[in-house]
Amino acid sequence: MTGISRIVVVALLAALASGCWTTKVYREPGTSSLPPSKPKQGVTTTVKRGDTLFAIASRNDIRVQDLAAWNGLSTPYTIYPGQKLRLYPVGKGGQASTTTKPPKTPATTQPATPPAPPKPAASDIKWRWPADGQLVGRYVSGEPTKQGIDIAGASGAPVRAAADGVVVYSGSGLVGYGELIIIKHNDQWLSAYGHNRNRLVNEGQLVRAGQQIAEMGRTGAPREMLHFEVRYNGKPVDPLLYLPKQ
């Protein structure tokens, strides 16, 4: 399946906190002729529906690549409604942090042990499985097309809300996801449900955990299945770390 990555086409998918999210892919042209970015230390902005990373960077006098780097975004620069973006690098004085080359290690020195991967963010949300069926696709960190899990099932099978929340997007504006629903659970956590045959909820609607929100389908997918993503502060995390063990 194609993960929710193409950067919020209608910038869906850019307004999580405001209501939806958008994905559009922008490739910034060569930066040799662009003026230096003007970081705004301590300032953040919330992505709104219709926003794109390019637009946000442009109106804040920041180059797209810099804004993406400051927020840990990689191509295709996916952003979502409600997501908070820093308008400054994580460094002192609003200046982009610089890296210094480490001293050369003597040939006889053993290679350093790689740092342990960061622990997954803790969640007090009581997550539940959004659909019944076979797990046919798993989350892969850093892989744009595998930002969630895929659950195969029968056409028309119920797709349910994984937790209480409010529907911030219900539509088909994100290329690669077919009929898509996005639910905001709180200021940090979102969940997304793609490839539905039929959407049963509207934007702004409150939903409860386990409530049917759609019918499983294959819009934008090669087979009947649900593509399910969990996002923490706009970034994808492995849903299997939070869903109950089966």
Please check whether residue 180 lies inside any domain of the structure: yes
pLDDT at 84 over 50: yes
CATH number where 211 lies: 2.70.70.10
The answer, yes or no, to whether residue 105 has pLDDT greater than 80, is: no
**Is 43 part of any domain?**
no
Residue 144's pLDDT is 83
Distances (CA, A) of 4 to 124, 139, 184, 210: 24, 12, 15, 22
Rounded-to-integer distance, Cα 198 and Cα 159, Å:
10
For residues 168 and 20, the answer to whether their CB atoms sit within 8 Å is yes
Buried-state track 77-114, b at ≥16 Cβ within 10 A, e below 16: bbbbbbbebbbbbeeeeeeeeeeeeeeeeeeeeeeeee
Mean pLDDT of 76-94: 77
Residue 236 lies in a domain: yes
CB count within 10 Å of CB 115 equals 6
Range of the domain at 143: 134-241
Residue 103 lies in a domain: no
pTM of the model: 0.59
Q: Is residue 175 part of a domain?
A: yes
pLDDT in tens, 160-182: 999 999 999 999 988 889 999 99
The residue-averaged pLDDT of 227-234 equals 94
Which range, of 37-41, 46-50, 116-120, 203-207, averages the lowest pLDDT?
116-120
Domain count within the chain: 1
Composition of the chain by helix, strand, coil, percent to 5: 10, 25, 65
What is the token pair recorded at 44?
């953040």
Residue 146 domain-assigned?
yes
